[in-house]
Copies of this chain bind each other. A is one copy, B any other.
C-alpha cells in the first residue's frame, strides 16, 4: 500500500491594486494563473510558490496564504494524477514581468455590486430562476440555493459567497466551462471572461478567502502603497468587498483600532479638501489580535 505517485503543481492567485482596481496576475490567452511544478530544490510548498511567482513577476510577495489542495480524478491530465496546491498572494503592482494584471471583475463581473446591480437583477437572476424551474424535483432545493447565495427575495447579499455563486452558475450551465450536457437548450451564457481549465474556480476561491479575511485580519494594507489617504483605503476595501461602505463609520473603525498613524503630510489636488496621509502601523500585527476591517456596511442597496 505505498500510494500513488502524483505530480504536484503550485497555483497562485496574485492580487494587486492597479489604478485602484483589484487585479489578478494572469499569463497567456486564454488567461491562466501563474503556476509551476514542485521541484526537488524547493524547501516547502510555500517556498516553491514564492519562487515561482517571484521568478514570473520579478516582485516579492508580501503576503502568501494557502488556499486549497485538490487532486480530483476528472481534472485533465494523464501520466500521473495532477495535484494542485493553490495559494493566495497579495502584493503591489510594479512591473508584472511577463504576464499582466487583469481586473478580477472582468472574470467575475457579477461580484462587483458597488454601484450597479443590473447585471444581477436583469440578466443573471432571470436565467437562474429559469434553471430553478427546469427541474421539478429539485425545485425547492434550487430555489433556496439561489436565494441565499445571490441574496435574492429578501435575503442579504453576502460578499464572501463568491465560490458558492460561481458553483451555482457552473451547475446551472450559465458559464462556458460548464459541461455541455448541463447547458440548457437555448440558455444564454452569463457575461465574464473565461480562464484556462478550472482557474476561474480557483480565482473565485481566492476572492472568497480574501473577502472573508479582510474582516478579521488587517491584510488590506499589503495592497496599499506606504502612504495613503483614508479614502484610498476605503476605496480599496470597497473594491475587494465589492460593495460600498459608510465613509464616516469606516474612518471611525480604522482610527479607533489604531491601525494607522498620520505621516503628517497631506494629499491635495483631488478637487476637495486635502486628505491627510497615513501609514500602516506594522506593529499592530504583533501587538494583539487586531480585528481587521469589519465593514460598516451601508445597508442601502
Q: Which residues from chain A sit less than 8 Å from chain B, CB to CB?
A: 1-9, 36-40, 42-45, 66, 68-73, 80-81, 83, 85, 144-145, 148, 155-156, 158, 161, 286-289
Given A4-B37, A37-B1, A158-B289 in contact, is the A85-B69 Cβ separation under 8 Å?
A: yes
A43 to chain B, nearest CB (A): 5
Task: Give the chain B neighbours of A71 by CB distance below 8 A.
Answer: 8, 38, 44-45
Q: Is the CB of B81 within 8 A of A40?
A: yes
Question: Copies per complex?
Answer: 2
Residues of B within 8 A of A70 (CB): 44-45
17 pairs, CB–CB < 8 Å, chain A vs chain B: A1-B39, A2-B7, A3-B7, A3-B38, A4-B38, A6-B7, A8-B83, A38-B71, A42-B73, A43-B72, A66-B68, A69-B69, A83-B83, A145-B286, A148-B286, A148-B288, A155-B288
B44 touches A72 (CB 8 A): yes
The smallest beta-carbon distance between A171 and chain B, in angstroms, is 16
A2 to B44, CA, bound (A): 17
Q: Evaluate contact between B44 and A3: CB separation under 8 angstroms.
A: no
**A6 partner, pick from B8, B148, B156, beta carbons under 8 A:** B8
- CA gap between A3 and B5 in the complex, in Å: 12
Given known contacts A43-B73, A45-B69, A148 and B289 CB-to-CB distance under 8 angstroms: yes
Q: Is the CB of A5 within 8 A of B80?
A: yes
Contacting residues, chain B, for A44 (C-beta < 8 A): 70-73
Cα–Cα distance between A211 and B254 once the two chains are bound (Å): 26
Complex alpha-carbon distance, A71 and B66, angstroms: 13
Q: Which residue from chain B places its CB closest to the CB of A85 in the assembled complex?
A: B69
Flag if B5 contacts A9 (CB, 8 Å). no
Whether B37 contacts A3 by the Cβ 8 Å rule is yes
A1 to B7, CA, bound (A): 11
